Chain A
Amino acid sequence: MSEDPLTKDLQRLEEIVHALEGDEIDLDRALALFEEGVRHLKTAKDRLSAAEIRVERVLEDADGVLKLTSFDA
């Protein structure tokens, strides 16, 4: 599931934190990484606080067409 956006955010954040915690980057690079990290931090938090659960029910009609309707669970 490498294309999952939350996975990507978290992976990039880990990389950035590791880079910042290492000793091998200059200040310009560190600042750029920090800004990028803050962006990923925000999108990851937004994704985690995402919308209300959605429950649907699928039914197949006589022609074999699938229909999704909202389901109250």
Chain B
Amino acid sequence: MKRQPRPSPDLFGAPVGEPTNRPAYTVSELGAALRLAAEAVVGQVWIKGEVIGMKTYEAGHWYFTLKDAESQLRCVMWRTYASRQRLVPVDGVEVYLLGTPTVWTQRGELRINAVALLPTAGVGLQQLALERTRERLAEDGLLDPTTKRALPAFPRAMAVVTSADGVVVHDIVTVARRRWPSIRIVLVPAKVQGDDAVDELVRALGIVNRLDGIDLCILGRGGGGRDDLLAFNAEPVCRAVAAVRVPTISAVGHETDLTLTDLVADLRAPTPSAAAAMALPDRGALGRQVSALGSRLGSGLRRRIQVLTERLARVSLRARHAVRRRVEVPRRRWERLAASLDALSPLAVLGRGYSVAQLADGRVVLRGDQLPAGTKFGLRLSDGTIKARSE
């Protein structure tokens, strides 16, 4: 970086406290003079500080503040330079900034025109590495939300990749015992922090693919400090998670920690217990569902029978009506005819108190001379014939 020679304008050359004979500045004149002094006297420098209040605008410019324990400087990074940065620094990241102080005369504000930002060691570099890894994973489609697999409805066996101490497994078993005790849980132990963690996690995830009958895989770890989660941000571990043949749940650390394995896995859970609850159906709820189906089965059949019975009743009623019609018509006709016949019968007269006398040969007695005294004849009444003799 070439340092420009520093000219020494009058403004700074004058001894402090000694009034000059110069006429009063206008606001613009002093602004311009200060600007010249800032740009020319200080020029382009490296500044170390912490980035806060980062605002990125659609046009591509960045506005932020650089601060240390006592002071703050407003900074701007124009699009030309901002677009050359690999990533936007998050708040709190310590950086080296290359820039030139200037005075924005319209507002009378001191600004640093930044042209480059470099993260300092430590958090900044870690953040940078993380972003680079994330970018590479994204390029390979490993973070694509549309490729996430669904969990099996009723898993029979699940692998749990976690530390051998059993804390995470214990949490998972506790949930499993309550929700879905028919599950088989296979612990695939691996160190989850320290130097060997990356290698061991990659190896353990590989073993998951060699196990038979596994339906899903939980990658789990209890809470820990940010540094303790480093292995779960390592690229090889992320790629190993993506290569697991069954659906994966990443349950690393607590609620607030987000790791790259969380992004690569099919599902993210805040804790291992939560992962188990996501993975396993609730036996109690399912039991109630089955019972409900059972009672619907019974009532379905009853209803079916009822419907059929009603239909049968309707049909038989119609049949009865049909039969009745067939019988009634001739019967009524017969009754009518019988009544007419009855009215015409000569015997009907007998019912009103008349009687008919008949001689032995059956001739009806019409005149008195047909019955000389002592003649036997029959007297026909409505209910029969009685024997009689004339006198």
Contact = CB atoms under 8 A, between A and B. Distances in A.
B241 interface: no
Contact of B293 (A10, A34, A50, A66): A10
A29 B346 CA distance: 68
B336 to A, nearest CB: 46
A44 to B, nearest CB: 5
Interface in A27-63: 27, 30-31, 34, 37-38, 41, 44-45, 47-60
Given A51-B181, A52-B181, A41 B187 contact: no
Main secondary structure of the interface of B (DSSP, over half): helix
Interface string A1-39: 100101100100110110111010111001100100110
B186 A58 contact: yes
B184 interface: yes
A13 B294 CA distance: 8
B301 interface: yes
Q: Which of B186, B283, B304, B308 has the most CB of A within 10 A?
A: B304
Contacts of A10: 289-290, 293
A23 B296 CA distance: 15
B281 to A, nearest CB: 9
A66 B211 contact: yes
A58 B207 contact: yes
B120 to A, nearest CB: 42
A34 B297 contact: yes
A6 B290 CA distance: 11
Contacts of A56: 184-187
B301 A20 contact: yes
B32 interface: no
Contacts, number: 116
| B: interface residue count bin | 35 or more
Contacts of A1: 152-154, 215
B389 interface: no
Contacts of B164: 57
B307 interface: yes
Contacts of A71: 166, 169, 187
B182 interface: yes
Contacts of A59: 189
Contact of B305 (A21, A30, A58): A30
A73 B170 contact: yes
B303 interface: yes
A23 B304 CA distance: 7
Contact of B304 (A25, A49, A53, A58): A25
B300 interface: yes
Interface in B251-301: 283, 286-287, 289-290, 293-294, 296-297, 300-301
B184 A54 contact: yes
B201 interface: no
Given A14-B293, A45-B290, A73-B166, A27 B308 contact: yes
A50 B183 CA distance: 9
A50 B153 contact: no
B297 A38 contact: yes
B319 to A, nearest CB: 19
Given A10-B293, A57-B189, A20 B304 contact: yes
B287 A45 contact: yes
B185 A6 contact: no
Nearest to A26: B308
Contacts of A51: 181-182
Nearest to B160: A55
B210 interface: yes
A14 to B, nearest CB: 7
Interface string B156-189: 0001000010100110010011000111111111
A38 B353 CA distance: 81
A13 B301 contact: no
Given A23-B307, A53-B177, A56-B184, A66 B300 contact: no
Contact of B297 (A17, A50, A54, A58): A17
A53 B176 contact: yes
17 contacts: A1-B153, A6-B153, A7-B153, A10-B289, A19-B300, A20-B301, A41-B297, A44-B290, A45-B287, A53-B177, A53-B185, A55-B184, A55-B185, A56-B186, A58-B207, A66-B207, A73-B173
